[in-house]
Amino acid sequence: MRIVNFNSAAIRLPGTIEMFSHRNRDAVRMFTGTAGGVYQETKIIMLDLVFSFSCFAILGWILEVAYRSSCAGRFVNPGLLKGPYLILYGAGALILMEAAALLKAAAAGLAVKTLVYFTATTGLELLSGIIVQRLFHAHLWDYSDQCFHYKGHICLKFSLYWIVLAFAFEYLVMPPYRVLLWHLDPVIKGVFAGVVLSFILVDLLAAFLRTFFRMTPEERPVAYAEFRDAATPVLALPDVARLSQYPHHLEKTRLDHVKEVAHLSFLLGRRLSLDCNAIIRGALLHDLFFYDWLREGPRLHGFRHHTIALNNARRITCLSQKEEDIIIKHMWPLTVVPPRYPESLVVSLVDTYCSTRDYLCLDRQNKTGKTADGCAGPAAGEKLI
Ligand SMILES: [Fe+2]
Ligand SMILES: [Fe+2]
């Protein structure tokens, strides 16, 4: 969208400079021709861009909430994300700013403007609809019941609305917004944009994960049966059941911990089409040691307990090469040698995630290993170490 030609030391950003950099034109002139000047100006432009994106993502959310809630007669939170922002509006505002500035520079007439606004807004809506459908398997809007629609993503009526909104944006929103940009301190802009963007990124990541792990109602019982069939024989081993006597992370017992790691690793492995039987068995056995590691046991527990767990596991069950690798590599990268199988990497990552989360207390309700309920084995057996 914006081209910075570092080689010629001239900034070729007509739209951007027009929209964002009136206050800094003197600085631009002063700096033009120096690498530092180009860098400084690029920084200013980027700051205004991310600030504008954040602002209009929030304002767009307010607009959508007002429209959808009034139509539905109740509060409706639009969009895929949980927070009060819509990426589509943030991106749309940046595109319209650039388009408006370029059209002004080209002294374009009303017909050309209308065509450009139609293409920009409807194109963005179509692209967003397709991306959300492909990546998140969701329809955030559906124009199927409207005349002249394309696959429910776009329709003539709303395209006309967008054109009107684009003109309103140019003539009603942009003038006061320019004044706001002029007066706002860069630090305030930076902090605001940083906070909003951070929330958006975390929210987006959470949405990806929700989609990734989501199961259909038909899938759920199949997955549960798959997990139960692989986990029950291991949990029935007396020495695995004994893990419930040892604290592991804060209020969690070691049995809770291994069940949780096994369950999450299974879900991830299932999505990645990995060997889930090995993942479940290896994860349930990955911390098979019998001491309170915070108060007793060998020195350098973190570097040694995977070997102890492997030896204990070998004594109570027959392990495949993959299961052995899962247990012995579960502390990677602390133990340097990388996992040999993707299943080992999955368990190692999930184990790290669960441990970190336990200590950050991000999931206080989930302290009892409820993920594997119904698979609990019998009580204690003999001590192995
Ligand atoms: Fe461990
Ligand atoms: Fe662990």
Task: Reply yes or no on whether the pLDDT at 30 is more than 60.
Answer: no
260 alpha carbon – ligand 2 mean position (Å): 9
Average pLDDT over residues 352-367: 68
Q: How far is the CA of 348 from the centre of ligand 1 (A)?
A: 9
How far, in Å, from the CA of 306 to the mean position of ligand 1?
A: 6
Ligand 2 centroid vs 287 CA: distance in angstroms?
A: 5
| Contacts (Cβ under 8 Å, ≥6 apart) of 254 | 243, 244, 246, 247, 248, 287
Rounded to two decimals, the pTM is: 0.61
Residue of 307, 313, 293 whose CA lies nearest to 337? 307
Residue whose token pair is 């700096």? 31
Q: How would residue 37 be classed by pLDDT, with cut points 50, 70 and 90?
A: low
Q: Would you say residue 371 has pLDDT above 50?
A: no
H helices of 32-152, in order, are: 35-72, 87-105, 110-136
- Report all structural domains of the chain as residue ranges with CATH numbers, in order of start: 54-213 (no CATH), 220-372 (1.10.3210.10)
What is the pLDDT at residue 379?
A: 34
Q: How far apart are CA 73 and CA 197, in angstroms?
A: 31
CA of 325 from ligand 2 middle (Å) equals 14
331 alpha carbon to ligand 1 midpoint, in Å?
Answer: 6
Confidence (pLDDT) at 172: 94
DSSP string, 341-375: SHHHHHHHHHHHHHHHHHHHT--GGG-S-GGGTT-
Task: Among the bound ligands, name the one nearest to the CA of residue 329.
Answer: 1
pLDDT at position 137: 78
Q: What is the pLDDT of residue 9?
A: 37
pLDDT above 60: residue 364? no
Q: Which ligand has the shortest distance to the CA of 302?
A: 1
**What is the pLDDT averaged over residues 190-203?**
91
CA of 233 to the centre of ligand 2 (A): 20
**pLDDT per residue over 278-315, tens digit each?**
999 999 999 999 988 878 877 788 888 999 999 999 99
**DSSP annotation string for 317-338:** S---HHHHHHHHTTTTTTT-SP
User: In this model, does residue 187 exceed pLDDT 50?
Assistant: yes
